[in-house]
Structure 1
Amino acid sequence: MTEPHNDTADIAWLRTLAAENARTPYRGGSVMVSAGLIYGAGSLLQWASLTGLVSRDLTGNGVQWLVATVLFLATLPILIWRMRRTAGVTTTANRVVSTVWGCVGWSIFVLFACMAIKDARMGDGVDIGALWLVPSIIMVFYALGWAVTASLYGNGRLWWLSLGSFVAAAALAALTGDASLYLGYAAALFLLMALPGYLLMRVAKRG
């Protein structure tokens, strides 16, 4: 004979789980800081090259983005190891948010790998028009990541980061064809990725 199903207990358990997820800080802030600073620096270099502040040889064929990606991927295992070493209880929210941001990163990587494959197959060189939209596309992915993070942690302030990322995507698209696009992109990476990541790191240390 089975015991009767207790809906009240289930609801109480779900409320406890939700409260636990809201209280437990996200510990992936260091990855956000790394991505924001590395790619933000790459964007500043691109802007400096387009405005003649540095030699264009430094950014020929977008080599700084390849260097930035290699540097980020080299630091990522170290950051993950440190997070696992200092991690406390891993909540459902932490697991889901980590998965979402991981998918955001890999989606961006695969998307632009596909663009490179297309250019190679078509044999018509690099699609300059598409390249100008790269910052906007990335900011849309970030808006998605922040929206999921805000929802799972029940943090209204994180919703502003999602909204800010959407606004930044549109603003950057409006700068298409102008070198200032990359200056704005660097600012967006610093303010909407590196800075929030640093603040999340501080919260995680206190938690």
Structure 2
Amino acid sequence: MTTDQLESEIAYMKSLAVSGGRGPLKNGANLFWAGLLYGCAAVAQYAMIKGFLPQKVWVAAGIWLGVSIAYAVILAVTVGGAAKCVEAPASRTSHSAWSAVGLGILSFFSAMIVMVNLVPGELNTLSFLLAPIILVLYGVGWWVSATASGTGWMRLVALGCFGGAPVLCLLVNRPEQLLAYAAALVLFAMVPGYALMRAEKA
């Protein structure tokens, strides 16, 4: 084997290692359903505030609790299926990042409940911080996924999330923030999640 052939073989093996290390990300379905379900929940909450649905606490609780239960079931199914597949390192890194995003959202929500109990009457203002914070965390998830997979368009999605968060803050104390949040979930979770699902099947 000549030197040129050896170099060619090494380059080929390196390309296989790089592509195998990255590979398609496997969490597209989770993002798709998160964007769809929670986007619908935000629209339903807006409809309740505007009087299209009964303006009762149990209605609001039912909307978000019902969506969360549905998403938990979907997550259990998709994670269970993914556990049977061998994932590339990039996909595992992305999964870890999005798991951290989910824990971060849960942690902030818990902290908000604690603050409301300590400082009564602040629920209204604090509730308008939830959507921007979630969007920032989504941006972090997309940024890590972009770096791990080497996919440039994911970085653009991350930048969209980072830019969208202060836009949502402009709508503080206005129910229209819910509609803007639903649109953001479609743009930055549902649509790119669907793109990842298509890439998985390709």
Q: Under TM normalisation by the shorter chain, which class is it?
A: 0.7 to 0.9
2:163 to 167, 177, 183: 167
Distance 1:125 1:75, change over 3 A: farther
Q: Which residue of the partner structure matches residue 56 of structure 1?
A: 55
Count of equivalent residues: 192
Distance 1:165 1:151, change over 3 A: same
TM-score for both structures, normalised by structure 2: 0.85
Conserved 8 A contact 2:45-2:60: no
Tell me the CA shift for residue 27 of structure 1: 1.1
TM-score for both structures, normalised by structure 1: 0.83
Q: Which residue of the partner structure matches residue 70 of structure 1?
A: 69
State the alpha-carbon separation in 2 of the partners of residues 113 and 129 from structure 1.
16
Q: Which residue of the partner structure matches residue 29 of structure 1?
A: 28
State the 4+ residue runs in structure 1 displaced beyond 3 angstroms.
11-19, 58-63
| Structure 2: runs of 5+ lacking an equivalent | 1-10
Code of the residue aligned with 1:171 in structure 2: it is V
State the alpha-carbon separation in 2 of the partners of residues 168 and 179 from structure 1.
17
Q: Which residue of the partner structure matches residue 136 of structure 2?
A: 140
| Structure 1: runs of 5+ lacking an equivalent | 1-10
1:105 to 96, 102, 105: 102
Deviation per residue, 1:49-72 (Å, 9 max, x gap): 122222212765644223322221
Code of the residue aligned with 1:114 in structure 2: it is A
Distance 1:109 1:125, change over 3 A: same
State the alpha-carbon separation in 2 of the partners of residues 61 and 200 from structure 1.
31
Code of the residue aligned with 2:99 in structure 1: it is G
Q: Which residue of the partner structure matches residue 7 of structure 1?
A: none
Alignment of 1:180-191 (within 5 A): 180-191=176-187
Deviation per residue, 1:144-168 (Å, 9 max, x gap): 0000111111111111100111111
Conserved 8 A contact 1:21-1:152: no
Conserved 8 A contact 1:93-1:153: yes
Tell me the CA shift for residue 38 of structure 1: 1.2
Conserved 8 A contact 1:33-1:198: yes
Code of the residue aligned with 1:116 in structure 2: it is I
1:119 to 116, 121, 135: 116
Conserved 8 A contact 1:49-1:58: no
Conserved 8 A contact 1:44-1:186: yes
State the alpha-carbon separation in 2 of the partners of residues 171 and 19 from structure 1.
37
The percent of aligned pairs where both chains have the same amino acid is 28
Tell me the CA shift for residue 13 of structure 1: 8.1
CA RMSD of aligned residues (A): 2.3
Conserved 8 A contact 2:94-2:145: yes
